[in-house]
A and B are shown apart, each in its own frame.
Chain A
Amino acid sequence: MKKPSALSILGGLLLLLAACALAPRLSGHPGLRPPQAEQPELLSVLFGESRVAIGERLYYLADVYYHAGIGYANHRNDHHHDHHDGHHHHHDDDREAALFPFAGEDAAESAAPLVDHCDHDHHDGHAQHHEDSRRREHGGDWWIRINRRLKPRGHRHLHGRREEREILPWLWAAVKVDPKHIDAYLDGAYFLAERLGRPDEGLRMLDEGLRHNPGSVRIYFARGTMLFHRFDDREGAFSTFAQGREAWLEQWEDWRQTMACGQTEAEQPDTLIYYRLLGYMGHIAERQERPEQALALYGEALPFSPSPRLRDQLLARIEGLEAR
């Protein structure tokens, strides 16, 4: 009795191993793709209210993966006092990168880089950090020192398609668990389109994000820039930006009304993104020989200029157009 049952366990094991070997070949088969539409509902039922927290955790994991397995928590531990700021700084940095995924390339393309390009280099900032942590590598008891020598330390990013694709599962899982996680859509789309050469998938991800978050100005903006830069689709980009503008104006109106009711805590819609939307729209209108429209858009953007320098630039542009 004993022998056959042990044998059957072994047999089952071998079958499973065979299945693993076959699985990657089969997974490409369209008939075997898991039904995508049903999953979010299943997951929301499974996780209930905690799914926002889980989604946030998964999104955080994607960042940890991007830093080769080293999370903020670990950084923070290395340098307790001043690091707290440093960490937020870094965090905002990343968010900004997500907000303006294409900002860097705009400049090269002569187009409307309506953003101040004084942002510090990500890498330099971190190199500084690394130096600091090196200096702090002394002190502590034996256990602390052993841990410091055992755990990988330092700042490292994933490089190249082969490594960068590794963060996708966590972003995928984050939006599956919490379909309202806009940052996860933006980062996922950015990585797919910019780093992994899959703009089609990136666009699909943004569309899915819009389906779950109708009226998200940030997704409209990301979608518009992606259409503009990656697909060279000016009309598509313009209409997406226009949708974003409408959504923004609606939010702005809502905000003004709540403010009028005396509710001072209501959060003001982000004006910078509105400014950038208008900048892109004006730029496209200008390219498509619709100077009046471009002028109107620039004029609308002018009061929202984030800095005097950009305001001057924009004014110069308006003057140039009027001169024509």
Chain B
Amino acid sequence: MLSIRKIWAVARVSLLELLRRRDVYVALILAVVLVVPLSTVNFFGVEGIVRHLREVSLLLIWLFSVVIAITTAARQIPGELQRRTILPLLARPIRRSEVVLGKYVGSALAASAALLLFYLCYVLLTGLLSEPQAETTRMQATLMHMDMTMGQAILMHLAFVWLLTAMTMAGSLILTVSANLTCCALVAVGMLLFGEQLPKIADQAVFPASWIVRLAHYVLPHFEFYDSRVRLIHEWGAYDWGVLAIVLLYTLLYIAFLMIFSTLVFNRKRL
């Protein structure tokens, strides 16, 4: 049996690390510094234009969420090995699978916390910058941005971060840190951009390439599922809960697979 208490104890280390890292705050300030001047640009004297601000802010949030998720997860276990704290850790009455799970939960929660902070700023910013409609105050306008679509979009983005963290963690056990960072960033960005098009690309490609692309389509995590930016920016409304549930189930199954894989690899790891 796995002990929740031990997993949580390990997870808290990663959370504390993120809390004391400066990158998140730097990223947040960078995002605000980029978006705020954009909001002051005058487009032919027409006021109340908001979608481009949403576009840029969400792009930055996605970018930073990828960066934060993979840099957090990629360093967890290699960091333990490099600091050699893995030895006193494993000398405690703890299973290796508990260490892997704790590290995963910790980095996933850390990345989620950072993401929620980003979305909080997003909601505040877009709320404050949007033109208040008749008889709503700024505050009400801000709150109006927190609707169902927004909630679902955040949930999807959280699921994205969890899956990406799991993938990076699994990668960190079989690749060097820099190779893992590069691969995970490539897969995440590549799937976000082209994930939906892979079958068509495979149709058009010639033999070896077409097989590789098709394999990627079936094997790699479909990160493009989670991208709800168009829905959010252009007000397409909420997801159908059925498909949302399917995607969350997919996420959980994929994460479970990656965690079992990681545990098996870590159990055989020589220290």
Residues on A close to B: CB < 8 A? 2, 9, 12-13, 16-17, 19-21, 23-24, 26-28, 32-34, 65, 68-70, 77, 80, 140-141, 143-144, 146-147, 149-152, 162, 165-166, 168-170, 172, 188, 192, 196, 198, 201, 204-205
Contact = CB atoms under 8 A, between A and B. Distances in A.
B32 interface: yes
Most buried by B among A23, A32, A69, A150: A150
Main secondary structure on A side of the interface with B: helix
Most buried by B among A24, A70, A162, A188: A24
Given A151-B230, A192-B44, A201-B44, A13 B29 contact: yes
Given A17-B32, A140-B199, A196 B46 contact: yes
Given A146-B225, A147-B224, A152-B236, A26 B124 contact: no
A84 B193 CA distance: 21
A254 to B, nearest CB: 34
Interface in B38-75: 39-52
Contacts, number: 123
7 contacts: A9-B25, A16-B32, A23-B36, A33-B42, A147-B195, A169-B43, A192-B46
Interface in B89-127: 121, 124-125
Interface string B20-31: 101001001100
B5 interface: no
A205 to B, nearest CB: 7
A7 B243 CA distance: 43
Contact of B49 (A146, A147, A165): A165
A230 B140 CA distance: 38
A21 B44 contact: no
B44 A26 contact: no
A20 B35 CA distance: 9
Interface in B216-271: 217-218, 222, 224-225, 228, 230-231, 233-236, 239-240, 243, 246-247, 250
B222 A143 contact: yes
A70 B40 contact: no
B128 interface: yes
A80 B246 CA distance: 27
Given A143-B222, A144-B199, A168-B49, A19 B44 contact: no
Nearest to B244: A150
Given A19-B36, A21-B128, A65-B234, 9 more contacts: A17-B32, A68-B235, A70-B230, A143-B218, A144-B199, A147-B196, A150-B243, A169-B43, A198-B46
Most buried by B among A16, A162, A166: A166
Given A146-B225, A147-B196, A150-B239, A172 B247 contact: no
Contact of A68 (B20, B129, B234): B234
B124 to A, nearest CB: 7
A269 B238 CA distance: 49
B200 interface: yes
A168 B225 contact: no
Contacts of B222: 143, 146-147
Contact of A69 (B25, B49, B224, B233): B233
Contact of A146 (B44, B236, B243): B243
